[in-house]
Amino acid sequence: MVLRNGWYVWKVKYPNPNYKARMKWHATAYLLTLIRFVNGLTSNKKREALTESFGRVVGWLSLVFNPPKLD
């Protein structure tokens, strides 16, 4: 849900982003997901970090197949 909500807010602010802006958004999402996954391997709260990282991946995939509708 974190990625879906972030995508929605970004898309409302920038309704027609160019290719470079879209790639930057995906790169940022990838980096934050990777950081959270590494936190799952190194922190004391492994379960929370891993479930959040998997939730980010699922949210990212759901954007590909079912993007939120913009009003």
pLDDT at 71 over 80: no
pLDDT for residue 49: 92
13 pLDDT band, cuts 50/70/90, is very high
Mean of pLDDT values over 1-14 = 91
Q: Are the beta carbons of 70 and 15 closer than 8 angstroms? A: yes
Question: 14-70 pLDDT, tens per residue?
Answer: 999 999 999 999 999 999 999 999 999 998 999 999 999 999 999 999 998 998 888
- Cα dihedral sign for 62, 65, 66, 68? positive
Q: What is the pTM of this model?
A: 0.84
